[in-house]
Structure 1
Amino acid sequence: MTPLRWPATDPVAGRVRLRAFRDTDLPMVLDLATDPYVPRISTLPADADEAAALAYIGRQHGRLAEGRGFSFCVALTDDSAAVGTAGLWVDDLGHGRFRGGYTIAPGRRGHGLAGDALRALTAFAWTLEVAHRVELYVEPWNVASLRTAERAGYVCEGLLRDHHRIGGAWCDMVLLAALRPVSGG
């Protein structure tokens, strides 16, 4: 069990807010299920039907209670429409290490929403007293995600060979990290 608590107010950056998932987010989750990559790295089945997508939404509500971390729906600030997902996962609470992740539904990509989501996620991380470091693991071929992370202030720390097993194959990962800002004094 983790001492972490759900935020009292939704984290916001740019055009997005991070909020709890709702059953009304179903169209966005169904869109995500059409992406060939997202089901390989998440618990969302490829080409999920409505029942499987609603089960995925339901699982997101228990992540914090399970001690895994925070699973957010990325929503637009103006109308609260769901556009993607973001997660802040506990990797090593004792050392203040968290792992971030984000994805935007295929129908909403190309508008900078992933960067807004990552900035909101990172700013939220610094509200957690125990957070010292947020790490991202991105496959080297995912140039758009690497650029998004760097624009959001993450620093590339190196290539980790055969670091993650995805779809049955070992994959290299680029490690990027953000460190808690030092308070001026």
Structure 2
Amino acid sequence: MNTNFTPFPDLQTNRLLLRRLTSDDCVQLQQLRSDENVNRYLKRPKSVTIDECEAFVKKIDGNLNDGIGAYWVIAPKTDNTLIGTVCLWNFNLENETVDLGYELSPTYQGQGLMLEVVEKIIAFAFNTMQAKTIFALTRPDNEGSRNLLKRSNFQQDVDYQYVSEEDAEGDVVYFLKN
């Protein structure tokens, strides 16, 4: 499985740019990661300071350089401002699997934007990274995320025992095979 992200793979959909996270994104990232509606289904602190965001950017750069995770800013082509993020992480080189994660500002939800993003990231994971399986976890009550995964052809795996550094207890596991 290819985990070399040099140079960083900027991607595009019809309406969006998927680009590398920088410290210039910290104000928008702080707003996104402290939004109650975004955090409702995520297991992370309710708010994030700008300093924590800058430390997060450094962590993401380290993951990217180490080939263990890739994280894209989702930005409209019209202004290139962060409105969400998408990532591939928890790489399992032996089994050739990756995990998919995403978040989008509530202002932009319900417009089909995340479907564009997920389709582009799926193509990248399968065609460029040569992953065999993509996993995604979501809370059982997160209907928007569950519907997105189903529209993207993910299947629910009721038997899979998910093992991750994150506490996934209670999450619904979906998978998509190449």
Give your verdict on TM over 0.5.
yes
* TM-score of the aligned structures, taking structure 1 as reference length: 0.78
Change (3 A) 1:19 1:85: same
Aligned-residue identity in percent: 20
**How far apart are residue 68 of structure 1 and its match?**
2.1
Aligned residue pairs total 174
**How far apart are residue 3 of structure 1 and its match?**
5.4
CA distance, structure 1, for counterparts of residue 86 and residue 157 of structure 2 = 22
CA contact under 8 A between 1:74 and 1:85: conserved in structure 2?
yes
CA distance, structure 2, for counterparts of residue 82 and residue 38 of structure 1 = 20
CA contact under 8 A between 1:138 and 1:146: conserved in structure 2?
yes
Query: Where has structure 1 moved over 3 Å in runs of 4 or more?
Result: 38-42, 159-166
Change (3 A) 1:178 1:12: farther
Q: Which moved more, 1:32-41 or 1:90-99?
A: 32-41
Change (3 A) 1:64 1:39: farther
Match of residue 4 from structure 1: 3
Match of residue 104 from structure 2: 104
Match of residue 155 from structure 1: 155
Would you tell me which structure has more helix in proportion to its own residues? 2
1:29-44 pair list within 5 angstroms: 29-36=29-36, 37=39, 40-41=42-43
* TM-score of the aligned structures, taking structure 2 as reference length: 0.81
CA contact under 8 A between 1:85 and 1:102: conserved in structure 2?
yes
CA distance, structure 2, for counterparts of residue 157 and residue 142 of structure 1 = 16
Give the RMSD, CA atoms, in angstroms.
2.8
Q: Which residue of the other structure, out of 151, 155, 174, is the alignment partner of 2:172? A: 174
Change (3 A) 1:113 1:134: same
5+ long unaligned stretches in structure 1: 181-185
- Tell me the SS of whatever aligns to 1:148: helix
Would you tell me which structure has more strand in proportion to its own residues? 1
- Tell me the SS of whatever aligns to 1:158: coil
CA contact under 8 A between 2:2 and 2:128: conserved in structure 1?
no
Deviations 1:44-98 (A, max 9, x none): x532222222222232211122342211111223332211111111432122111
CA contact under 8 A between 1:33 and 1:39: conserved in structure 2?
no
- Tell me the SS of whatever aligns to 1:121: helix
CA distance, structure 1, for counterparts of residue 161 and residue 127 of structure 2 = 32
5+ long unaligned stretches in structure 2: none
Deviations 1:106-144 (A, max 9, x none): 343332222222112111102235311111111111100
CA distance, structure 2, for counterparts of residue 49 and residue 18 of structure 1 = 24
Q: Which moved more, 1:14-23 or 1:104-113?
A: 104-113
